[in-house]
Amino acid sequence: MNRHSALLLAAGGSTRLGRPKQLLTVNGVPLVRHIAELLLATGPEHLVVVTGGAAAEISQSLAGLNIVLVQNDDWKTGMASSLQCGYRTLGTDPGLLLIAGTDQPCLTCEHLSALVRQGNNHTDVVTAYGEEGRGIPVLLSPATQLRLTDLRGDTGLRQLWKNGATTPAFLHAPELGFDIDTPEQLDAAIRAGWIDPA
């Protein structure tokens, strides 16, 4: 098995939702902590959590976990800056890199572990969608991680495979296409039992 590290992107301002999505709860546990615990269950050497908006509250919700917190002062510029901030914090040899966000209530440890297993088959990039998704969670090989410094703005990881520069392998997990960005999506997640009622 190859070594891996993990990166949790928790810096967004949740402007469309109107409240920090990271602090929504799942069975009484803040969503950001829930996902951090899923990532830790995969056995990473390190887990870096990148904060931005609502940093103090998010940091408090993660108290006691074996993580490294880093504040991205440029978080408003988009996901790329948070990816780069977290990657720099991991140092020069993180092994495979498992990346997740904080707005997918259907995410499970099984999804994340499947990404790691596929990465151990020497795939360059693995994402747990179908071809239409191409987003996070994702696992990056060391060679692909070097290209994180080329990313700009809010399009994030999609730039890694733009114009066929990198060809991802996909795990079938269409449920991960559901995320929480708007009040309507939050209402749907509550009705489905994925998120606690407010």
Residue 93 pLDDT > 60, yes or no?
A: yes
In whole angstroms, give the CA distance from residue 100 to residue 112.
9
Cα distance from N-terminal residue to C-terminal residue, the chain: 41
Residue 124 has pLDDT above 80, yes or no: no
pLDDT given at position 132: 56
Predicted confidence band of residue 197 (pLDDT cuts 50, 70, 90): very high
pLDDT at residue 129 greater than cutoff 80? no
Mean pLDDT of 53-66: 94
Q: Residue 131, Cα to own-chain centre: how many angstroms?
A: 18
Within 10 A of 124 (CB to CB), how many other CB atoms are there? 17
To the nearest 10°, report the CA torsion of 94, 114, 49, 179.
150
42 and 112 Cβ atoms separated by less than 8 Å = yes
When pLDDT is averaged across residues 18-45 and rounded to a whole number, the result is 95
pLDDT of residue 164: 62
Q: What does the alpha-carbon distance between residue 115 and residue 128 come to, in Å, rounded to a whole number? A: 7
Please determine, for residue 134, whether its predicted confidence score (pLDDT) is greater than 70. Answer: no
Report how far apart, in Å, the C-alpha atoms of 179 and of each of 67, 124, 145 are: 24, 25, 24
Q: Rounded mean pLDDT of 143-147?
A: 83
Mean pLDDT of the chain: 87
- pLDDT value at residue 2: 80
Give the residue carrying structure tokens 């799942």: 26
Which amino acid, 68? V
N residues, the chain: 198
